[in-house]
Amino acid sequence: MDQKRAFLRHCLATLAYRAAKVLRDVPQTFGEFRASPTTRTPSQILAHLGDLLDWAWYLAKGVKGGQNTEPLAWEAGIDRFFQMLKRLDDYLESGEPLACTEERLFQAPIADALTHVGQRGMLRRIAGGPVRGENYFKAEIEVGSVGPHQRPAVSEFD
């Protein structure tokens, strides 16, 4: 596997690690929390995250596709997000040719997904269920580890 593709897969594993942290142990009403009348709810952001990864898979394959889905029940939305993440990672691992450059794949859907994971962390703090900070440089993130179950944090702080 070439270095660009390997790095892109590391980006997906990083996305999974950070997303798993902000998606677990949320307050019961968090999915419908709204910071202001014009912001998306966490459930809407979660649906969008799944859509971004779905779009990335289509871009990688060079097929027109993607969708704007309605939010699912919280756990179903989490399952969909990680399924879309795994599907994209599996495609990158397969060695099948990419229909776009790795850089373009990162700069649009993957970078956007990282941004939205950060939004969810901020929304959790506003909603009264903050996520502990972490030194992500020390995190044990492995290529291919793109599911909801991630290694425990190595260096969290308050």
Q: What is the mean pLDDT of the chain?
A: 95
Would you state the pLDDT for residue 32? Answer: 95
CB count, 10 Å around CB of 119?
A: 18
According to the model, what pLDDT value does residue 26 have?
Answer: 92
For residue 41, the model assigns a pLDDT of 96
CB 82 within 8 A of CB 146: yes
The stretches of the chain forming alpha helices (DSSP H) are: 3-23, 42-61, 74-94, 102-105, 111-126
Query: Token digits for 121?
Result: 């962390």
Q: Which of 91, 78, 79 is nearest to 144 (CA)?
A: 91
pLDDT of 30 > 90? The answer is yes
**pLDDT single digits (tens) 62-80:** 998 888 999 999 999 999 9
Could you tell me the domains of the chain? 3-157 (1.20.120.450)
pLDDT in tens, 46-62: 999 999 999 999 999 99
Q: What is the pLDDT of residues 107-138, one digit of tens each?
A: 999 999 999 999 999 999 999 999 999 999 99
* pLDDT tens profile 100-109: 999 999 999 9
Specify the pLDDT at position 28: 85
Q: Is 96 helix (H, G, I), strand (E, B) or coil?
A: coil
Phi-psi region of 30 (alpha: psi -120 to 50; beta: other; left: phi over 0): alpha
**pLDDT value of residue 67:** 87
The answer to whether residue 97 scores a pLDDT higher than 90 is: yes
DSSP 123-141: HHHHTT-PPPEE-GGG---
Are the CB atoms for 143 and 13 separated by under 8 Å? Answer: yes
